[in-house]
Chains A and B, each alone.
Chain A
Amino acid sequence: MTPLEFLQEEFDNVGRALGETLRYDYGPERSRPYYDECVARLARIKTAIPKISANQLQTIRDRLDELSSLATWIWLIERSHLGEFSWPFAEELRDMAKALLAEKNLKGTAVNPIIHIIAEGEGYQIVYERQVPTPSGEHRFAIIAFPRPLKHHVLLHTIFGHELGHTALHTTGSGGAGGILQSRVMTALTASGPMASSTKMTSWLNHASAPTEIRSELTRYSASSGQPYSFENFFRQQWLDELICDLFGLLLFGPGFAAAHQALLKPTHPNPYKIALFAPTHPPYAVRHKMLVRVMQLLGWDRPVTNKKHKTFHYMERELLTYVLHDQYTPWSTLFTDQQLKRAIKGIQTVFSAYGSLGYKQPSADTLGSLVERLTNRLPPIVAKIDSIGKPQLTRVEIAQTLYAGWVYWLGRKHLAKQDPLSFFLTNRLCDYALLQQRAINMTISWGSN
């Protein structure tokens, strides 16, 4: 078999796989655009193959690689079975991603991404297309992967705000959100201070105020490598990426993001100052936490929306804020000035307003009270009032507000008069149901206003 014959064979194989894999609908009316894009890519590769001669070995290899990439996208759809992740949360995320990841083509026409959702054995992630695109793709795929074990844990799913930030940051085509994020937010965070350059990062690490954990790590590095540590630019960019995405997640989902961030990351960082100097891909947990706390303070989210007249709910909300805002880390962990953070916040808010009115808005005290009260009664947290003639009063509640109420309930449950509170799992399940019901409520409100 010649390489060209093998290419033709591979083409036929991928075509067969496409036919077999996508015969079924993997979500309500959702797999059609995905299928169409795969078919179109395959058709474009088909027109290219007859133009390749047997001695163009590099081109044959490049087209094989392109087929392999397409095959991976086709197989990924098999992972998406409804029921393995929170469908209502996924739908909310899909709407956000669609708005944030749109691009414009050469003609100036908007090209929407195709968002697909799967459950995986690994952690939260969003898989996006390659940096160097293959010739055949028109719409870009973005695969949102939920961790299968956390199927119903919608309170933790707010961490997707961080992952969505990564994808948005790299959407740099004309009109892409990444253009604004890179030009405004990155510029703000590197204007001064340690993140301004690799040299400044090295100085910051070696500063006299650095905690003993850092000094010990630097000493161990010098002893094993025979030279003092020097922070590399690649890792400075990685840190910026991570920190911008933490900010992005916080501004998208509010304090619920900060709670999930702490719940997921703190247990895996017994040493909050750990950097892993040989490949420091992520900032130490202490740095990330301190930044989130400061941003919450700058936005006024450190103050409860309830007050003493809301009694129990007020005490419960204060418990959440105490948990999220507790910061025992050294001042050395502060990388940015308030001015830098304010400019970065403004940059992200610009993206949110330009791409679909996104971003966390605090609930009113009454709304929060109603939502938490529903949870205390073991009901999904929606605002479901019925007037004197029996007509339901429909109220739109943002997803981040529902999840905020979930965290308030869970972290403040010790203030409940009735003991035997819901477990974390059941709190999540009720919030998951609430997102489903809220989706129906929002649709009804939208239909009514049309």
Chain B
Amino acid sequence: MPIMAAHERSDARGAARLLASMALDCIGNPAIAGDQEVALNNVYRLLESYRTNAFFGLESPREQPTHDAAEKLTLMPPMERHVKEVRDALEQARAAAFAGKSKDQAVALIEKVLRAVAYPNLKDRPKPSAQDRKKATLFFKKLVEQLQLG
């Protein structure tokens, strides 16, 4: 038996928490965002998956069958875990920051803020208001809170 429990690795909550923290830092201090372009684009990937992917965070209600020895020996990446919890955390953060708004509306506004932070000189794109930034900040704060691991 491996020395670590399988659930110790590939925990989607950890990656989501890092992304949310980095987004929060960049919105609060846009001067550092230039160095975090890739991370902000990964926040965008996460938000798009949450918005459009019907399979995002879909987890089996049954325990997955254990892999046999040959499967363990292959170098395939370990199965990603706790994506459902990430989806739930995104839902709760959205409800806290965007009450009464649809998922599409909320995500579009957050992406507008991220775009302006990552690419401040981009032309022909609507600029977010101070209120928009405030809402996006609240969203990421709530998301980090929801993703605190034990």
Binding site for B on A (CB under 8 A): 40, 44, 47, 58-59, 61-63, 65-66, 68-69, 72-73, 75-76, 78-79, 103, 105-107, 111, 120-122, 125, 127, 130-138, 145, 169-170, 172-174, 176, 178-179, 182-183, 186, 232, 234, 237, 241, 278-279, 281
The answer on a CB contact under 8 Å between A132 and B41 is no
Q: Which 10 A-B pairs have the closest CB atoms?
A: A62-B14, A132-B12, A135-B39, A172-B53, A133-B42, A172-B52, A105-B41, A72-B77, A130-B80, A132-B15
* Minimum CB–CB distance for B19 against chain A, Å: 6
The answer on a CB contact under 8 Å between B70 and A234 is no
The answer on a CB contact under 8 Å between B62 and A106 is no
Contacts of A170 in B (CB 8 A): 53, 55
- Bound: A83/B10 CA distance, A: 32
- Bound: A210/B80 CA distance, A: 36
Binding site for A on B (CB under 8 A): 9-12, 14-19, 21-22, 35, 38-42, 44-46, 48-49, 52-62, 65, 70-71, 73-78, 80, 83, 86, 111, 114-115, 118-119, 122, 148-149
- A65-B11 contact given A121-B74, A132-B46, A133-B46, CB 8 Å threshold: yes
Contacts of A241 in B (CB 8 A): 55
Instruction: Enumerate 19 A-B pairs (CB-CB under 8 Å) in ascending A order.
Output: A58-B149, A65-B11, A66-B18, A68-B9, A78-B75, A106-B44, A111-B41, A121-B74, A122-B74, A131-B53, A131-B57, A132-B12, A132-B86, A133-B15, A133-B19, A134-B42, A136-B38, A237-B55, A241-B55
- Bound: A281/B63 CA distance, A: 12
* Minimum CB–CB distance for B127 against chain A, Å: 14
Contacts of B115 in A (CB 8 A): 106-107
Nearest A residue to B77 via CB reads A72
The answer on a CB contact under 8 Å between A135 and B15 is yes
Q: Name, among A69, A73, A78, the residue most crowded by chain B CB atoms within 10 Å (CB to CB).
A: A69
Contacts of A131 in B (CB 8 A): 12, 49, 53, 56-57, 80, 83
**Secondary structure at chain B's binding surface: helix, strand, loop or mixed?**
helix
- A62-B17 contact given A69-B10, A172-B53, CB 8 Å threshold: yes
- A178-B38 contact given A121-B74, A132-B46, A133-B15, CB 8 Å threshold: no
- Bound: A424/B11 CA distance, A: 45
- Bound: A59/B15 CA distance, A: 9
Contacts of A61 in B (CB 8 A): 14, 149
The answer on a CB contact under 8 Å between A137 and B53 is no
Contact count A vs B, C-beta below 8 Å: 149
Nearest B residue to A183 via CB reads B52
Contacts of A76 in B (CB 8 A): 75-77
Contacts of A278 in B (CB 8 A): 62
Contacts of A179 in B (CB 8 A): 52
Contacts of A145 in B (CB 8 A): 76
Contacts of B78 in A (CB 8 A): 72
The answer on a CB contact under 8 Å between B55 and A134 is no
* Minimum CB–CB distance for B60 against chain A, Å: 6
Q: Name, among A78, A127, A234, the residue most crowded by chain B CB atoms within 10 Å (CB to CB).
A: A234
- A122-B53 contact given A131-B12, A137-B38, A232-B61, CB 8 Å threshold: no
- A182-B54 contact given A44-B39, A106-B40, CB 8 Å threshold: yes
13 extra A-B contacts, CB within 8 A, seeds A76-B75, A131-B57: A66-B14, A79-B75, A103-B45, A122-B74, A127-B77, A132-B46, A133-B19, A133-B42, A136-B38, A137-B42, A170-B53, A178-B53, A279-B60
The answer on a CB contact under 8 Å between B18 and A186 is no
The answer on a CB contact under 8 Å between B80 and A173 is no
Contacts of B118 in A (CB 8 A): 106-107
The answer on a CB contact under 8 Å between B22 and A135 is yes
* Minimum CB–CB distance for A96 against chain B, Å: 21
- Bound: A131/B45 CA distance, A: 9
